[in-house]
Structure 1
Amino acid sequence: MLVCHCNIITEKEIETAITELLDIDAWQLIVPAKVYHRLAKRGRCCGCFPNVVETIIRVTENYHARTAGDAGDVVSHLDRVRGLRDQFGSNRNEGRTTSHRAA
């Protein structure tokens, strides 16, 4: 599946980059910019970043579930991120008032 239309990056390429980063350091913080740097690309419109974050969370959880000896040590990051989205919302106005004008 094509995730980034600007750079023509597939979900498989992103998953591979995340796994490679986790192989280097399993507990590092992986963000979309780090994944794109690994792929020698850069975010252009950045509209794909929410999908990349979801992929990072899913792949990281699966990676730790495979490598962890005790399943109780694996924290469900996806549920925490979704909880934060519900708590803080996903407002696109960045806290600006309706009368705010950029120009």
Structure 2
Amino acid sequence: MLICHCNIITEREIEQTIIALLDQDPWQLIVPAKIYHSMQKRGRCCGCFPNVVETIIRVTENYHARSEATGVDVVSHLDRVRGLRIQYGSRTHEGRKSDHRAA
């Protein structure tokens, strides 16, 4: 599935980049800008960032579910990430209407 129309980036490419970053440091905080920097791209309109965040959460949860980390560590880390999403207003989707999202 195509996630970023500006840079022609697929969901699979983003997932592979997230896994590569998690292999380097499993407990780092991964944000869309870090993924784009790792792919040597840059966000242009940034309309894809909400979808990228959802992909980050899904891939990170799956990665840690397969790892040797204890369940308490994983839940604590993911709760902090979700708390940051709520704190910094991911519900607003950069001020766009809910019907604006392409995916």
> Which TM class, normalised by the smaller chain length?
0.7 to 0.9
Take 1:27 and 1:64, find their aligned partners in 2: how far apart are those partners?
9
Take 2:71 and 2:12, find their aligned partners in 1: how far apart are those partners?
25
1:84 offset after TM fit, Å?
2.2
Query: Larger C-alpha radius of gyration, 1 or 2?
Result: 1
Q: Deviations over 1:8-65 (max 9, x none)?
A: 0000000000000000001111110110011111000000000000001111111111
Moved over 4 A (4+): none
Take 2:72 and 2:17, find their aligned partners in 1: how far apart are those partners?
26
Normalized against structure 1, the TM-score is what? 0.75
Greater relative contact order (Cα < 8 A, sep 6+): 2
* Structure 2 residue matching 1:46: 3-state secondary structure: coil
Does 2:41 correspond to 1:41? yes
1:74 offset after TM fit, Å?
2.0
**Alignment length (residue pairs):** 92
Match of 1:25 in 2: 25
Gaps of 5+ in 2: 97-103
1:69 offset after TM fit, Å?
4.6
Higher helix share: 2
Gaps of 5+ in 1: 94-103
